Copies of this chain bind each other. A is one copy, B any other.
Amino acid sequence: MQKTTQKRTLKTRARLIEASENLITTGGYEALRVEDVVQAAGVAKGTFFAHFRDKDALMEILIGAKLDRFLDSAEARTPPRTVSEIIAALEPVHRFMTSERYVFDLLIRYSGATAVAEIGPIAHFFERYFRLVTMWLEAADVRKDVTPELLAEGVQAFAIQAMSLRFCALHAATTFSDRLETYLDAWLTPPTG
């Protein structure tokens, strides 16, 4: 059972991804059509699905790669120690996550691996986000009565909550960062009686 991958394969895949990125640059994620991608890449429609399980799989790759780059930047900074520093450090990540309703929905949909064997780029991103925040919280000026892991899970939960409300017309008065700061102040630094 030899399964030699031809270099042709890599070229085609690269062409598909590059074509997708170009189309997204001009039209955004939501408007991306598989037929446009294959036409721009100069291949047949079936070829697309020989390289990606479905359209979402490509989206996962593209969005996951972008998110990873943002996490690289966040990781390179000197670790934030206060709530507002943490929010500032994550701002580019959160901004991208809420840049399009379509992107946010896809993130939620693929945030967890449905099977341990198939951890996709987005599930991978959330895992990395969680570990990074955990690390920050270990050394930050926050409550110590619960584990940093639990605190990090809460940060994620509140970030997603704030993002949801960002898309809601009923709560448009407050900005995303202000809302998240309110949440995290109450979550990370409750008053020590």
Count, chain A residues at interface, CB 8 A: 38
Question: Does A113 reach chain B (CB closer than 8 Å)?
Answer: yes
Q: Which residues of B contact A193 (CB under 8 A)?
A: 192-193
* Nearest neighbor of A119 in chain B, beta-carbon distance: B170
Question: Does A167 reach chain B (CB closer than 8 Å)?
Answer: yes
Question: Does A86 reach chain B (CB closer than 8 Å)?
Answer: no
Partner of A154, one of B105, B127, B158: B158
Q: Compute how far the CA of A116 lies from the CA of B172 in the bound complex, rounded to whole angstroms.
A: 10
For this complex, 17 residue pairs linking A to B, each with C-beta atoms less than 8 Å apart, are: A105-B109, A108-B164, A112-B165, A112-B170, A113-B168, A115-B169, A119-B170, A127-B170, A145-B190, A150-B183, A154-B161, A154-B183, A154-B187, A156-B161, A157-B158, A157-B161, A192-B193
